[in-house]
Structure 1
Amino acid sequence: MQMKKMSALVLSLSLLASASAFSSAQAAENPLSIRLNDDQIQFGPTEPILENGVTLVPMRPILEKLNVQVNWDEATRTVSGTKENLSFTLQIGSTNASANGQAIKLEEAPKLIQNVTYVPLRFVAETVGYQVGWNQSLRQVSLTSKQQSSGSRGFLWKVENKGNTVYLLGSIHHVPEGMYPLRPEIENAFQAADHLGVEVDVSTVAPEELQKQVLDWGVYKDGTKLQDHISVETYHKVTAVLKANGIPENSFDIFKTWFVTQQIMNLQVAKEGYKPEKGIDNYLIEKANEAKKPVVSLETMESQMKMNNSFSDALQERLLLQNLDPKSVTPPSPDIGIDDLNKMWIEGDEHALTEFTTKGWDAEYYKGLIADRNVEMAEKIKGYLNSDKKETYMVVVGMLHMLGEQGVVPLLEKEGFKVEEE
């Protein structure tokens, strides 16, 4: 099914695409769980554990589920696993390992707990051909078979100055299953980076802080409600969506139109199989956290919310209608489906991205969502490049920020930096 047309907001804001404040669960209330291709793995009396941010799982149950042939050397306490042409070795108590013939340093060593061997889940699963995802709110690890990544190009550039290197990756915040790992050039750039830069590091946003910011910026405080800021017809379309999803029809009444738009987008993309927790920035943030690689934010949660809050009522209603009923309004951004946007990313089609970034935009919307933010992002990146520290950064922001006359790549080129496509 072709995904319905929707606002470019879904591609440009990592925070709001990644964290819903409308309803949340405390992580501590959920036990750690592992799902393989949407089926939960049962470990019996032994359970997965978290050690220093690394998920360790009982070896036998997980390797059986992944169809890995196992060899155990009692003398050296070494585990060897093979699956088709993929292989790994692990040693109990040691962080030295190998993956497909390459030496690897683990963040956490395999260990014996009450005579049960526990192994690091991400290392084992990725080595034998699975994508690994982590949902913080659910405390859930997802393992999915790799299907699509070998043909996914994406948008990657490299800039060097004064011994510093910045890799620029244009991302998509909602992706289908089977996207990972990314092509080798992207994965290698991440491995080479001393720091990962993102729009907002959502892994550090506590639920109570997100709730506070939503109350500050996303809720009407002047006694008005949603229905006072949009037409009767638009309000009826909102309540119809809520009713269709089993949500009380007045649930959005206190929220500002821009925030309601975001929540409706989250409902829509989830139905089409696009999961924000599996977005490219979240994927790399998870990897950085596991590798203890510093993550820096180019923006803040507050700045993204303030930007949305600054849009006029008329623009906010058009954005809402672009998601509810695209034919009823002149779209404030190019009217293109999320399936097409993912195809654009997979093919690395720079011409299509430039066209999408520069044509068919409402001036107010483009200035707030794209142009103004691009200038600030480019300034942060210039700071990394002009530093005396001789470090490497991988900067990952929505692909809409990269190209076009006011894109981050052209802005850096205008400052004299040589930006090379990777």
Structure 2
Amino acid sequence: MKKITASILSLCLLTSGLSSVHAAEKALSISLNGEAIQFNQSPAVVEQGVTFVPVRLLLEKLNVNVKWDKATRTVTGIKDGRSLSLKVGSTNAIANGQAVDLDAAPKQIRNVTYVPLRFVAETAGYQVAWNQTLRQVSLTSKHQSDESQGFLWKVEHKGNTVYLLGSIHYVQEGLYPLRPEIENALKAADYLGVEVDLSKIAPEELQKHILDLGIYKDGTTLKDHISPDTYDKVTALLKANGLPENSFDSFKPWFVQQNILGIIVGNEGYQSEIGIDQYLIDKANQANKPVVSLETIDSQFQTNNNYSDALQEKLLLQTVDPSAPVTLAPNGGIDDLSKMWIEGDDNALNEYTNSSDWDAEYHKALLTDRNVDMAEKIKGYLNSDKKETYIVVLGMLHMLGDQGVVPLLEKEGFTLERK
């Protein structure tokens, strides 16, 4: 995904959770640090919940030195001081010098030796994650997140402390844990602040917002509100992803765009379930730490719903056809924004947010207006007499630029320290 410009910002700046349409069951896929592994003529298989893959191809992809003993039908692997040994037909294995019992024994299928994927990958030093919706197994180098920086500031006033973290709502596996300064900020906080805590929103409430704002009630359908060319591109994308071509006929363009974009980035291995804000929400809940929302699901729906008809179609068109001649925001796909977060590049973030390539309506609705409201909430935390500590997590593009939350607080006289 090299070019999804303005459309991707909806997922980077608005909390996800709008999707009401789910794809048909997909074929099993396996990725390594975000790149798909192709097993060609010997595809992975799942038996009783265990994923089996061809051992030689897997170990070579993981840069493990592999040896096969034909007489004993035993495979061994060594990498960076790690080692493993498995025998076809046996649940007894060796992992880094220790005897272990496997959930399922290695086997041969059409003269190819298959082994349990999770055991081999974890023994070789990789994190393993399963996405049921995407039917995707993700393998990630455990050191991949070691140098992730992110965007973190600290501000103190009247005995109160706010850690301000710019986040991305969709990430790939391997980002966690976050660097110690961020993890420790959550531990020190009395409260976690996020845009919207979706875990507190009942399904029926979310459904009500979809019915109120996302669906046409006048008897018209999507094709009555967008060009035939845009509609044809929507139906083609749905068909390509195993969905009925009329899946979104009842919905407004902004809602269709959000759902389709979720499908696209999901196919690229980006997941909201492990987004930075959701990761911190889960940790706060485990620690019985209160989570507060700076916005409401209604305000986020209204932001989208209040876009002009022209802007809604432009966003939808750019999502289904990134090559379309539509300019709404600076060029940059989700890979670029993820890289910006990992590197913690303030200059790049500031330059992106201040770019002259923004559509004025889009910039004002998505950034300016919301930044003012959220800065006011944070100012309230800092001016409180309660002497409390917050970590507030917002989409990273809310942070900098001339009208970002950080400069807005600085204009109010607060001193923010970049961490």
Pick the TM interval, shorter chain. Answer: 0.7 to 0.9
- Tell me what 1:58 maps to: none
Say whether the 8 Å CA contact 1:168–1:396 is kept in structure 2.
yes
Say whether the 8 Å CA contact 1:134–1:277 is kept in structure 2.
no
- Tell me what 2:120 maps to: none
- Tell me what 1:20 maps to: 19
Determine whether 1:363 maps to 2:360.
Answer: yes
From 330, 347, 350, give the equivalent of 2:346. Answer: 350
Cα distance in structure 2, aligned partners of 1:219 and 1:193 = 40
How far did residue 205 of structure 1 move? 1.7
Say whether the 8 Å CA contact 1:197–1:393 is kept in structure 2.
yes
Note the 1:234-249 alignment, pairs <5 A. 234-249=230-245
- Segments of structure 2 that go 5 or more residues without pairing to the other structure are 24-32, 34-43, 51-81, 83-94, 97-124
Note the 1:310-321 alignment, pairs <5 A. 310-321=306-317
SS at match of 1:318: helix
From 262, 267, 275, give the equivalent of 2:263. Answer: 267
SS at match of 1:326: coil
How far did residue 329 of structure 1 move? 2.7
- What residue identity is the alignment partner of 1:177? E
Task: Normalising by structure 2, report the TM-score.
Answer: 0.72
Structure 2 vs 1, CA of residues 347 and 286 (structure 1 numbering), >3 Å: closer, same or farther? same
- What residue identity is the alignment partner of 1:175? V
Cα distance in structure 2, aligned partners of 1:330 and 1:158 = 38
Say whether the 8 Å CA contact 1:217–1:305 is kept in structure 2.
yes
Note the 1:283-294 alignment, pairs <5 A. 283-294=279-290
How far did residue 331 of structure 1 move? 2.1
Q: Sequence identity, in percent?
A: 66
- Tell me what 2:196 maps to: 200
- What residue identity is the alignment partner of 1:206? A
- Tell me what 2:251 maps to: 255
How many aligned positions are there?
332
- Segments of structure 1 that go 5 or more residues without pairing to the other structure are 25-36, 45-66, 68-82, 85-128
SS at match of 1:182: coil
- Tell me what 1:336 maps to: 332
Cα distance in structure 2, aligned partners of 1:184 and 1:132 = 22
How far did residue 199 of structure 1 move? 0.3
- Tell me what 1:408 maps to: 405
Note the 1:77-88 alignment, pairs <5 A. none
Cα distance in structure 2, aligned partners of 1:41 and 1:150 = 34
Structure 2 vs 1, CA of residues 298 and 314 (structure 1 numbering), >3 Å: closer, same or farther? same
Determine whether 1:146 maps to 2:147.
Answer: no
* Higher alpha-carbon Rg: 2
Cα distance in structure 1, aligned partners of 2:143 and 2:3 = 20
- What residue identity is the alignment partner of 2:204? E
Structure 2 vs 1, CA of residues 41 and 154 (structure 1 numbering), >3 Å: closer, same or farther? farther
How far did residue 21 of structure 1 move? 2.7
- Tell me what 1:28 maps to: none
Note the 1:211-226 alignment, pairs <5 A. 211-226=207-222
Determine whether 1:230 maps to 2:226.
Answer: yes
SS at match of 1:406: coil
How far did residue 309 of structure 1 move? 0.4
- Tell me what 1:61 maps to: none
SS at match of 1:176: coil
How far did residue 332 of structure 1 move? 1.2
Tell me how large the CA RMSD over aligned residues is.
Answer: 3.3
Determine whether 1:10 maps to 2:11.
Answer: yes
Cα distance in structure 1, aligned partners of 2:196 and 2:142 = 27
Say whether the 8 Å CA contact 1:3–1:339 is kept in structure 2.
no
From 364, 369, 380, give the equivalent of 1:383. Answer: 380
Cα distance in structure 2, aligned partners of 1:235 and 1:43 = 39
Cα distance in structure 2, aligned partners of 1:178 and 1:262 = 25
Say whether the 8 Å CA contact 1:318–1:329 is kept in structure 2.
no
How far did residue 20 of structure 1 move? 2.2
SS at match of 1:166: strand
Task: Normalising by structure 1, report the TM-score.
Answer: 0.72
- Tell me what 2:73 maps to: none
Say whether the 8 Å CA contact 2:18–2:255 is kept in structure 1.
no
- What residue identity is the alignment partner of 1:21? S
- What residue identity is the alignment partner of 1:10? L
Cα distance in structure 1, aligned partners of 2:127 and 2:277 = 15
SS at match of 1:306: helix
How far did residue 337 of structure 1 move? 1.3
- Tell me what 2:109 maps to: none
How far did residue 318 of structure 1 move? 0.7
Note the 1:110-129 alignment, pairs <5 A. none
SS at match of 2:273: helix
Say whether the 8 Å CA contact 2:303–2:365 is kept in structure 1.
yes
SS at match of 1:278: coil
- What residue identity is the alignment partner of 2:153? W
How far did residue 6 of structure 1 move? 5.3
Note the 1:291-302 alignment, pairs <5 A. 291-302=287-298
Determine whether 1:209 maps to 2:205.
Answer: yes
